[in-house]
A and B are shown apart, each in its own frame.
Chain A
Amino acid sequence: MAIGDLGKVYQDGEEIICEGEQGNCMFVIQAGEVEVIIAGEGGQEIRLAVRREGEFFGEMAIFDRDVRSATVRALGEARVLTVDKKNFMRRVHEDPSLAFRLVETMSRRIRELGEEVARLQKAE
């Protein structure tokens, strides 16, 4: 890590969050990329997405009380900052507009998911 780097560096393939675990934080990528994967039938891994610098992941743990829905691993070296649920929710309570960007991102991802479902139904 360079002396001015914030966050934590994960090496290529290193797990940042693990599917099925309890989570109480989300993450913001400061540098590099990460892949979001889930375990498919028969144990093979399915890559759902690649997230890049400036993007969030693990944000569902901020809002629901469920376990992590996917595993996230570093793709190459990635530097990631943890955002604590308590700090985030305290601040959102004071300033709901802090959640605008998160809601905007989640909304875009739901839209992309809808398009993907439509594309798969069309292919069947």
Chain B
Amino acid sequence: MTDKGLQLDDGSRVGVIGGGPAGSFFSIFLLDLAERMGVDIQVDIYEPRDYTRPGPVGCNMCGGIISESLVQNLAAEGINLPPTVVQRGIDSYMLHMDVGSVRIETPLQESRIGAVYRGPGPRDLKEIKWGSFDGFLQNLAIEKGANVINQRVDEILWAGDLPQIKIRKGEPHTYDLVTISVGVNSASRKLLANLNFDYEPPKTTKTFIQEYYLGEEKIQEVMGSSMHVFLLDLPRLEFAAIIPKGDYVSVCLLGEDIDKELIANFMSSTEVQNVFPPAWDFDARSCNCSPRINISGARQPYDDRIVFIGDSGVTRLYKDGIGAAYRTAKSAATTAVLQGISAEDFKEHYWPACRKIEIDNMIGQMMFMVTRIIQGQQIARQAVLRMTANEQKKADSKKRMSMVLWDMFTGSAPYRDIFIRTLNPAFLARLVGDLAISVTGR
């Protein structure tokens, strides 16, 4: 590590590897802040994906939920998500368990969660009705002045102390700062081979996403504008959701070692069958994938003139990955423009934002452990269902369990906040009461 003193000045060049949400957010905020500070910076984004083409070539493999808090933060940033990109505004959640289902309404009766596709849509998409979320952000970055190079980066080289980006056929380009925002599914060993510091990629686990075509009208009829979440007593299944989009629905499974057996058990459960139209053919899928997601953050995601953001740095556990991409991208961009681009600058001003997410993820691990216990105990599931259903029936009641579940499922609040709310004596007293009713069978 060198001392402070490395700065972005007029004419500085920044290379961004990866043009997903983290790379685009970083470019937008870097260029915006530089303009405010009167500094002229050139930004090149390297992204091989074509966000106008359906299927894997334009997809970044994700459930595609823009959380309530992120929708609000982006609006405050002046980034309003249009209905040409948001395929469905989500206004409620349906929680499904073997003991019953309950609908959890949004606190303000307002659609503040966006269901999107990262690309234009699944492989068999016949007509593009909605734009890609990643493409929308990339266009905003271009409007801010970023230059997009539609090439895959082969490796990072060094010209003295300046990093270089090399694509397969071409001379390396030299930059003052290189930002790495590739997803955990895209980062190649070769790309990271020449980093001469202690970066260690995040640990990951496999998830499963499957798309079904139902058509807009059928989705409205059977699922409405609700996201459907499942707490089922299936071994190795941590969490599952069915997310309605425009003409398709996405089925997302999180858990340990998700394999064909677990997927089949989930799809054949009564709770899932009841959400789909009667006699639905579950083999008639449009496409599926098994992307990896982070279960821990990267070690030292920065050095002089290099910073890792989004999934290749630190992201939130299981939820709101795009929200974490926004937070890390914004923190790295403000550090680069206002503080500097040395390892010391990133350590002092960027790393705390990553640590905050990591510490919150530790609390999240504990919260999911409790969720697993609830999943495995019918008495607990009955108590949670009863408490939530009673809250939803009474318009003026304090919706303590509903809000805990809402924030756990939507990723709208930090896990720490949710945990603190579960320690509220009134919450605990009510839960104990509902547990007692379940035990006594009254």
A and B co-occur in one complex: yes
Residues of chain A at the chain B interface (Cβ within 8 Å): 1-8, 28, 30, 53-54, 81-84, 87-88, 91, 94-95, 97-98, 100-102
A102 to B78, CA, bound (A): 9
Is A28 within 8 A of B76, CB to CB? yes
Interface residues of B in 78-119 (CB under 8 A from A): 78, 80-89, 108-112, 114
Minimum CB–CB distance for B315 against chain A, Å = 16
Task: Give chain B residues whose Cβ lies under 8 Å from the Cβ of A84.
Answer: 72
- Judged by a CB distance under 8 angstroms, whether B216 is at the interface is yes
Partner of A101, one of B77, B110, B334: B77
CA distance in complex: A88, B412 (Å): 12
Binary contact track B199-224/A, C-beta < 8 Å → 1, others 0: 00000000000000000100010000
- Please state if A4 and B69 are interface contacts (CB–CB under 8 Å): no
Pick the residue among B36, B73, B86, B114 that contacts A91 (CB under 8 A): B73
Q: Specify which chain A residues have a CB less than 8 angstroms from the CB of B405 in the assembled complex.
A: none
Are A4 and B108 within 8 A (Cβ)?
no
A84–B327 Cα distance when bound, in Å, is 18
**CB distance A3 to B87 under 8 Å?**
yes
Q: For the complex, is B356 an interface residue (Cβ under 8 Å from A)?
A: yes
A4 touches B110 (CB 8 A): no
Within 8 A of A (CB), among B56-77: 68-69, 71-73, 75-77
Q: Which of B33, B76, B220, B330 contacts A83 (CB 8 A)?
A: B76
Q: Contact check: which of A2, A8, A54, A101 meets B80 at CB < 8 Å? A: A54
Query: Is A88 within 8 A of B76, CB to CB?
Result: yes
B87 nearest in chain A by CB position? A4
Question: Which interface residue of A8, A30, A97, A100 has the most chain B CB atoms within 10 A?
Answer: A97
Pull 23 A–B residue pairs with CB atoms less than 8 Å apart, ordered by A.
A1-B89, A1-B111, A4-B82, A4-B83, A5-B83, A5-B111, A6-B86, A6-B112, A7-B111, A7-B112, A28-B75, A53-B80, A54-B80, A82-B72, A82-B108, A82-B110, A83-B75, A87-B68, A87-B69, A94-B353, A97-B330, A98-B76, A100-B36
Verify B327–A6 contact, CB threshold 8 A: no
Residue of A nearest to B244 (CB): A3
Residues of B within 8 A of A30 (CB): 75, 80
Question: B29 — which chain A residues lie within 8 A by C-beta?
Answer: 97
* Cβ–Cβ contact A3 & B72, under 8 A: no
Q: Are A5 and B89 in contact (CB under 8 A)?
A: yes
Say whether B225 faces chain A, with CB atoms less than 8 Å apart: yes
Known A3-B225, A101-B76; judge A94-B327 contact (CB<8 A). Answer: yes
**Chain B residues closer than 8 Å to A97, beta-carbon distance:** 29, 33, 330, 334
Report if B276 contacts A (CB, 8 A).
no
Q: Is B246 an interface residue (CB 8 A)?
A: yes
With contacts A81-B72, A83-B75 known, what are 7 further pairs, Cβ within 8 A? A4-B83, A4-B89, A4-B246, A8-B110, A53-B80, A81-B80, A91-B76
Which residues of B pack against A, CB within 8 Å? 29, 33, 36, 68-69, 71-73, 75-78, 80-89, 108-112, 114, 130, 216, 220, 225, 246, 327, 330-331, 334, 353, 356, 412
Residues of B close to A8: CB separation below 8 A: 108-111
B87 partner residues in chain A, CB cutoff 8 A: 3-4
Whose C-beta in chain B lies nearest to the C-beta of A104? B36
Most A CB contacts (10 A, CB to CB) among B33, B76, B80, B216 go to: B76
B88 touches A3 (CB 8 A): yes
Contact of A81 among B88, B109, B110, B412 (CB under 8 A): B110
Q: Are B110 and A98 in contact (CB under 8 A)?
A: no
Given contacts A54-B78, A81-B110, contact A4 B84 (CB under 8 A): yes
Nearest chain B CB to A24 CB, angstrom units: 11
CA–CA, A105 and B83, complex, Å: 25
B86 engages A4 (CB within 8 Å): yes
- B39 CB to nearest A CB, Å: 15
Residue in chain B with minimal CB distance to A97: B334
B-chain residues with CB within 8 Å of residue A94 when the two chains form the complex: 327, 353, 356
CB B166 to nearest CB in A, in angstroms, measures 33
Q: Which B-chain residue is minimally distant from A55 (CB atoms)?
A: B78
CB contacts (< 8 Å) of B75 on chain A: these are: 28, 30, 81, 83
CB neighbours of B330 from chain A (8 A)? 95, 97-98
Q: Write out the residue numbers on chain A whose beta carbons fall within 8 Å of the beta carbon of B111.
A: 1, 5-8
Q: In the assembled complex, how far is the CB of residue A27 from the closest CB belonging to chain B, in whole angstroms? A: 9
CB distance from A78 to the nearest CB of B (A): 13
Nearest Cβ in chain B — how far from A15, in angstroms? 16
In the bound assembly, the distance between CA atoms of A87 and B356 in angstroms comes to 16
- Are A7 and B110 in contact, CB atoms less than 8 angstroms apart? yes
* Cα-based distance from A1 to B88 in the complex (angstroms): 11
